[in-house]
Chain A
Amino acid sequence: MFAASSEAGSAVLSSGFFLEHAWAIPIIPAVAFALIIFFGKKMPMKGSEFGIASMLGSLVFAAGAGYQWIQRVNGAGEESYVAPIVKTWTWWQSGGVEFGIGQHIDGLSLAVLCVVAFISSLVQIYSVEYLRGDRRYTHFFASLTLFSAGMMNMVVAENMIQLILGWEIMGLCSFMLIGHWWEEAANSRAALKAFFTTRTGDMGLLAGTSILFFAANDWTQKTLGVSGFSIRGLSAWALSGDPSHMAIVWGAAALFIAAIGKSGQFPLHTWLPDAMAGPTPVSSLLHSSTMVVAGVFLVARLYPVFFTGMDILHGSANFIVIIGGITIVIAAALAFVQTDIKKVLAYSTVSQLGYMMMGLGAGAWLPAVFHIFTHAFFKACLFLGAGSISHSASHHSFEMKKDMGGLRKFMPVTFTTWVVSTLALCGVFPFSGFFSKDEIIDNVGHNGYTLFMYIGLGGAFLTAAYMTRATYLTFFGEPRGAAAGEHHDEHGDAHAPHDSHDDHGHDAHGHDDHASHDTHAAHDDHHGDAHHGPHESPALITVPLIILATLAIGSGFLNAAPFGEKWENFKKWVEPRVEVISPTGLAQVVGGAGEVRVASDESTDTTVAGEEASATSDGHGEEATASGDGHGEEATTEGGHSAHESPCGSETPKDGICVAPMIHHAPFKWSKALMSMIIVFLGMLISWTLCVQLYEKKNKSLVGLTERNPLLGKGYRFLVNKYYLDALYENVIVRGIAHPIAAAAYWVNQNVLDGIVNGAGTVTKKVSGWVYRNVDQRVVDGAVNGSGNAATGLGGFLRPVQSGKVNQYGALLFGTAAIGALVLVIINT
């Protein structure tokens, strides 16, 4: 819908039904969650119909909103600020602070929303087959749906409180889903580890939100009329020059700690590989493409806060980029010593998240966000492929060395999609990873973080190497174990001989380039055994794989910087335009509680200037610029656009506010691209060679190398023990804190609480005994018996009077008379 143009000189931006009602996107799966919980078990498909329907509904909604956003952006000027669509309701008020709930829709939220909705739909369809007959099928779909609701809520969140709500829902669902098969103790331990580790980071989230609120609330209320929780308020505040250095540094650091926990950065990465204990659809949805990017999303969302707080682009290193860099390297190193295919992918995820963080830390905002987008597709495809292998080939085992091998003959579709996704992951042209990951590395170097650029290149080398190893062990060579049709339980495996361990320790196997896959090998159903040997998975599994692989190829072209600016659509739609704007143009507020009229209104318009919308859904998004400032515009990569410099990010804007810092993009050069491709091919080749030598030909100089060479052996063990970080966390830190607390609590329970209970019992017993003996037996019975005895006694006493003896009667008579006489005498004298 196009809003009516109201006055000359200011273009109004189009809005639409889906954009303005995007707050409903999280509500659809939330409703489905409730329906699954209450009615799921009675439904014919056991609740999965609600889940899939809701995901598809959200997908349609998100796609519609995305389409309308694209229209909106296209309708705006080339470099003009495109206001996000905001809607808020007041949730509750307390102490003068309003807690609201609503939506804040811009390009970033829509990109991530589309990813979440799309991959959730595919994963739910996949799970119908993968978890067929599972013991808690309905609850699985309920948790999965709730997770999607939570993540979508976080993505559309208008303020930090709502973001935290979505964040926590995701944490809860992650716990429930990792521990889906909690009957095995290892699974519930892994779920607890994931929950507690991310919880440690979440303390940073709460601390950071509070710090930023208290620092920003005054400014945001005065300038923008919004609370210090709102995201657009915080973004504008961070770039306004108002924040005190301490406040924003500590606020940004605290929030980043939460991102470290959630996105598996060093040192809180230890939970992600263990989270592979959950079912594979969970791994592919939560722990590769969606939940773990929540931390990256947080940093991208509140980028001005981090930009100012961490001094991004001003210096050669900052906290974020260092952590990201470290994460890339240590995760890649660990991926070499894994025999579980999902763990390889998990460490690969950690490593790629490191790339995203490093990119954000080095000012490469758009490449990092684009990498979120593309990584989701190929990583999900890789995980679903691993699930397909376990489902149909290796009898639910994920051990590459024991139960896989030579599977390309039996599972051609899985093999093809796996290879496509691996090439995308390694960043080979023209797969999607090339356009995102290499952009990160390029921009990191361009922005002056040279060391980290080399780290990124090294990481690319390592990525290629370990993925080649994994591919070799799974699809090439001779079938082993279950892949050979044997059924076997786990048996103690002596250390398979490992090859040389240099600083990129790898047992990789190389594999040739993308050209030579046979996509139509006959797939035998039975190989060897009477029972089914490895075979291709059914359609419900392979179709999502194919879809994701297609996207792994194609999604890169959404932002194909090498081909010119016209190809950089993602950038155009998602990257926030950098210009100084008036407070009223900050967002297009649709309905909801509306906003207070702001103090300074710089609009030059004469009519209907700068009023925040009330009830109508067609707000007027204005980018009326503040007088006196030029238009901010980001430099584009090619074609030599003259950069319109905006002061945002480098100096305090006068007469207006900034919401995004000025970032320059590195111009694309084919030479740089070629160099990174060479590095990647080198990694693949070396790895392939070593794999063939070690596993197939069993080259004597390589086999058992880590056992012969003590240094290499030590290094190998260091890697296998994951740098002893788990031991440090669990045995030293956790045990040191929890053990005394647990002992104290046990003591209190046994002595104090039980003592009180037992004491009460003993006292009651004693009191009742005393009462019984003294009151009941003596007093009450005494009274009863006593009255009887008195009656008997009195009768016995009076009986002798009636003796019948005359003498006695006479005595009585005379005696009484005497006494009567005495009385009379005494009275009368």
Chain B
Amino acid sequence: MLAADLLVAQNVGFYLIAAVMVVGALRVVTSNNVVHAALWLVVVLAGAAAQYVLLAAEFVAITQVMVYIGAVMVLFLFGTMLTRARIGAETDLNNKNWILGVPVAVLMLATMVIALNDGFGNERLPLDAAPVNTRTVSDQIFGDYLLPFWALSFVLLAAVIGAIVLARKD
């Protein structure tokens, strides 16, 4: 019973957050205002973090909030500002052939849904999975996946240098 309630609560929570995410994603791609789109993206990202929690990935959720929402979105807003995005509604944010995207997206969605239904059917997530805590994650990072970690740090370094080089004024 408790498990069932837990399940019910998780499901409800999931669907609510999922709905918000989807709406927010849709508003990102259909909004007329760049800043509004950025803010809707914040909603989506937050929702994603909540989903991570539901998926028992608390560390990733926190990281998502801090990095994505805290750093990336601020970067987006800086970029919007620096490129003189108009404050307020703009009319021409969709390009000429935007209608082409619809069938592509729908097709892709259909494909993936069919494949997923076919592949995973009614598989349930296990309820008694061993929790993955930070210690485990860091053991993984600095243990099994050390090389990717170093590669990643190079990527970050290159990104920083690159960003500086690209964006500096000469």
Contacts and interface: CB of A to CB of B under 8 A. Distances in A.
Q: Is A in direct contact with B (CB under 8 Å) within the complex?
A: yes
A821 B108 contact: yes
A819 interface: yes
Interface string A790-829: 0000000000000001011001001101110110010001
B117 to A, nearest CB: 10
A805 B95 CA distance: 10
B115 to A, nearest CB: 5
B160 to A, nearest CB: 25
A807 B97 contact: yes
A819 B107 contact: yes
Nearest to A806: B95
Interface string B102-117: 0110011011101100
A493 B95 CA distance: 122
B41 to A, nearest CB: 19
Given A811-B104, A829-B118, A818 B111 contact: yes
Contacts of A805: 95, 97
Interface of B is mostly: helix
Given A818-B108, A821-B108, A811 B115 contact: no
Contact of B108 (A807, A808, A814, A829): A814
A818 B104 contact: yes
Contacts of B115: 821, 825
B114 A825 contact: yes
A811 B100 contact: yes
Nearest to A803: B97
A807 B118 CA distance: 32
Contacts of A825: 111, 114-115, 118
A807 B101 CA distance: 9
A285 B80 CA distance: 138
Contacts of A808: 97, 100
A825 B111 CA distance: 7
Q: Chain A: interface residue count, which band?
A: 10 to 19
A805 to B, nearest CB: 7
Nearest to A829: B118
A87 to B, nearest CB: 116
Contacts of B103: 815
A814 B104 contact: yes
Interface string B63-106: 00000000000000000000000000000000101001101100
Nearest to A826: B114
Interface in B103-140: 103-104, 107-108, 110-112, 114-115, 118
A818 B107 contact: yes
Contacts of B97: 805, 807-808, 811
Contacts of B110: 822
Nearest to A814: B104
Contacts of B104: 811, 814-815, 818
A798 to B, nearest CB: 16
Nearest to A815: B104
B134 to A, nearest CB: 36
Interface centre among B100, B104, B107, B118 (most CB of A within 10 A): B104
A805 B97 CA distance: 10
Contacts of A822: 107, 110-111
Interface string A441-477: 0000000000000000000000000000000000000
Given A805-B95, A807-B95, A829-B118, A821 B101 contact: no
Interface string B9-39: 0000000000000000000000000000000
A819 to B, nearest CB: 7
B101 A811 contact: yes
B95 A821 contact: no
Nearest to A821: B111
A267 B119 CA distance: 128
Contacts of A817: 108
A821 B101 CA distance: 17
Interface centre among A808, A819, A825 (most CB of B within 10 A): A825
B103 to A, nearest CB: 8
Nearest to B97: A808
B17 to A, nearest CB: 27
A399 B104 CA distance: 124
A799 to B, nearest CB: 14
A815 B110 CA distance: 12
Interface centre among A815, A817, A818, A819 (most CB of B within 10 A): A818
A815 B103 CA distance: 8
Interface centre among B100, B108, B111 (most CB of A within 10 A): B111
Nearest to A813: B104
Nearest to B115: A825
Nearest to A811: B100
Nearest to B98: A807
Interface string A666-703: 00000000000000000000000000000000000000
Nearest to A823: B111
Nearest to B114: A825
A815 B95 contact: no
A808 B96 CA distance: 10
A351 to B, nearest CB: 125
Nearest to B95: A807
Contacts of B111: 818, 821-822, 825
B105 to A, nearest CB: 8
23 contacts: A808-B97, A811-B97, A811-B100, A811-B101, A814-B104, A814-B108, A815-B100, A815-B104, A818-B107, A818-B111, A819-B107, A821-B108, A821-B111, A821-B112, A821-B115, A822-B107, A822-B110, A825-B111, A825-B114, A825-B115, A825-B118, A829-B114, A829-B118
The 10 closest A-B pairs by CB, nearest first: A818-B108, A815-B104, A818-B107, A822-B111, A821-B111, A825-B115, A811-B100, A814-B104, A807-B95, A829-B118
Given A805-B97, A811-B97, A818-B104, 11 more contacts: A807-B95, A808-B100, A811-B101, A811-B104, A815-B100, A815-B107, A819-B107, A821-B108, A822-B107, A825-B114, A825-B115
